[in-house]
Chain A
Amino acid sequence: MLDSEQLYKIGFRFVTDSVELMTPYGEELKRRARFYGRGEENELKAEQKNVARLVGLVREEPAKVNAILRLLMPVKDIRRSIGAIGAKTLSEVELFEIKRFLLQLELIAPVTEDVSRGLDGVSIEPIPGALGVIDPDGTRSPSFYVSDRLSEKLCGIRRERKLVDEEIKKNGASEELVIKRTRLAAMEEDENARVRGEITDKLVPYKEKLLANTASIARLDFALGKARLAEKTGAVMPKVGSDGFGLSGMTNPRYAAILAEKGLSFMPVSLKLERGSVVITGANMGGKSVAIKTLALNVMLAMCGYFVFADSAELPYLDGVCLLSEDREDAESGLSTFGGEMKAFDEMLKDTAEMENALVLLDEFARGTNPHEGTKLVKAAARLFNERKNTFAVIATHFDGVSRLAKIHYRVAGLKGNDPETLKTRLACGADDLSKLMDYGLYPVPPDEEPPRDAVKIIKALGVSREFTDLIDI
């Protein structure tokens, strides 16, 4: 599975960061990023359906959505206070939090009632019984005070205390009165605690309902956040459960934003995958890596119940997604880059061996060793995944000869079609960035087509001294 560093690099965090949530409950679901794996197909379907319905709501009833968001916004995380019910006597502040939550439920429930009916796992219900316990006077005020009504003794102490205070105010604080006051304050504190104990006991039967409501709010908030993002960005619902991968017009918001800063636009990526090895070749300029990350991003989003950034997307249920990318770091383990990569690869093979469906992404595998051996290693990996019937592997490489083993071979166009003289002119005319001259599109090509030879073309286009370029033996 992807670690948090990888989730950041593929742009998953970038996407989830732009999901706006109203409650700490929703935030927590987002943070946990649940991957719906094997055996959770129905849950994933249900979550997708929730998001789809809410996309409809966002589109058709924006006023209603705003009303829901406004009601969710003040909701605080009070699970600690709920958790304390049955375990100890709740403090005044804890009871205040629970009362505030109960009052919020009274407001949220009627507004979300019809929406919730069409959603899986969302049922926000007021708990009048619990509110009656905590607010026996029915004031419904958003504050908490241990009511006189709950204890005659408490009421008596408070009355007496008031008389003493008045006397002190009138005649000054004699020692006798001060002692009396202090004693009454302590008595009140004790009785207050006893009454709070009673209130807590009476809340025990409602504990599960309180927790269920927080779960419902989490679910609604998170799905609504996903839906609002999908509506804003035009993300689509992926079809999960097909035999293979068919993803067309994928984009990656993180890289699109990086490119936009340079005045460039993101070239959408389309890919079909079969079981076995799919190979992406192309110039050594980052296009392959972005393609792999874009694939990883959208697959992860789909498996976490998000809509995806693509024109259309279908993919099988997956047990896991693994990525071995060129920018991984092994500084902490102390292994060399190459050693670290091989160890990670070995772990990946073990992890995915028993899976029914795994997606394995190798970005410039074995680049850390010499091209001769590197080619052999990548070829071996391609063969291995061709043998395994459970793995969809995508191998991006600039080594020669690997593509011959590919079930499908894609090429990042790169500088193809631009001769050095034209490139040189364009660079001289202010195309300061080579990337502006790159075609990052992925094109299916025959397995035996070798990677392009762009390195020399690029060197010449950059106008590197001829003393050097004339000596390049091609």
Chain B
Amino acid sequence: MPRRDRRGRSVLYELIEGTRTLSVIGMCKNAGKTTVLNSVIAECEDRGETLGLTSIGRDGERSDLVTNTKKPEIFVREGAVIATAEGLVPMGDVSREILDKTGIPTPMGEIIIFRARSSGFVQLGGASTTEQQKLLRDALLGFGCDRVLIDGAISRKSLGNPALADGVILSSGASYDPDMEKTAADTAYIASLFSLGEADVKTEGGARFEAVTESGTYRADELTKLADKLKEGAEMLVLNGAVTDLTAREILAHAKLLKNTRLIAVDASRLLLKKESFDKLERFTRGFAVLKGTRLLAVTVNAFSAYGMHYDAERFIERVRSKLNDLGVGARVLDVKNA
């Protein structure tokens, strides 16, 4: 049962109440993301909200989605509006009223939008580009949804695109790694990326790097070309596009020039570098900020592992809290069982 505060209100609902577009992102499979989503869905629907649901497209997961997936686990009530790939519709068991065929292609067929005319299970599969995701979100809101939930997933390629969501819940669990310390540390790291502050700077893009100095803004695709400008002392260095370990190495080559420079990523989803690289960059510069910030609403933890290496629930929560604290992230930590 959802945890209630002393006045009987749901903690989870209070956390998400002001969020129009909410993304729930799992650190790995079986992190408890679906449990969280279902709790959020139930809390919202209990209050008479019309929900819109979609997910971030899963590139390259086509075959295991079709062949190996167990029955879908996301449960909606009558009235919810779902944007999903046409090929995934038969995997659900909800009665459907087809509202639109969007023309957005996925490996599982075009994305369609339907309204649930009964309670039932749905399988979500959404768009993969930010543009398409925006279209879907706007379409869902256009069909009268009070709130849009996005089923996100961390992959090698992206952090589940929080740019679209105005609030994020991060789900982590024992299935991530048998080593609790590692799981707690990595979870806190990802949470810290979602908690980066926003930089107040206007950028034009069009190049991988933009150096903001007193004399103006300079652009180049290779950092070497900006070395002269960096010598003047750049206030900020904007990193357009993905920031990987390779990018980190390129930046660290000019570390001496960047002591007083703040690094600006487009948003947390572009930060695809390892914690070690991130830490080094933080150490040698004035640290990171993003152009578009994310509101990390909560971190949920699941001590149960799908692979049998369960954690001690109390200790797990304590470790995640402690790691978050180390990184200065103030997000709530909830046990998925109580979420």
A-to-B contact residues, CB < 8 Å = 76, 92-93, 95-97, 142-145, 158, 161-162, 165, 168, 182, 185-186, 188-189, 192
Contacts and interface: CB of A to CB of B under 8 A. Distances in A.
Contacts, number: 47
Given A143-B115, A161-B118, A185-B120, A92 B98 contact: yes
Interface stretch (B15-23, B58-66, B89-97): B89-97
Nearest to A81: B101
A245 to B, nearest CB: 45
B327 interface: no
Given A93-B112, A161-B118, A165-B119, A143 B95 contact: no
Given A143-B115, A158-B118, A161-B118, A188 B98 contact: no
B96 A145 contact: yes
B99 interface: yes
B98 A165 contact: no
B118 A76 contact: no
A87 to B, nearest CB: 18
Nearest to B110: A93
Given A158-B95, A186-B93, A93 B101 contact: yes
A182 B97 contact: no
Contacts of A158: 95, 118
Interface in B66-93: 77, 86, 89, 93
B131 to A, nearest CB: 20
Given A76-B103, A182-B93, A144 B118 contact: no
Contacts of B118: 158, 161-162, 165, 185, 188
Nearest to B113: A143
Contacts of A186: 93
Given A143-B99, A144-B97, A145-B117, 5 more contacts: A93-B101, A96-B98, A162-B118, A182-B93, A185-B93
Interface string B110-128: 0010110111100000000
A337 B117 CA distance: 68
19 contacts: A76-B101, A92-B96, A92-B98, A92-B114, A93-B86, A93-B89, A143-B98, A143-B99, A143-B115, A144-B98, A145-B96, A165-B119, A168-B119, A185-B93, A185-B118, A188-B95, A188-B118, A189-B93, A192-B95
A185 B71 CA distance: 14
Contacts of B117: 145
Contacts of B89: 92-93
A134 B253 CA distance: 67
Contacts of B115: 143
Contacts of B77: 165
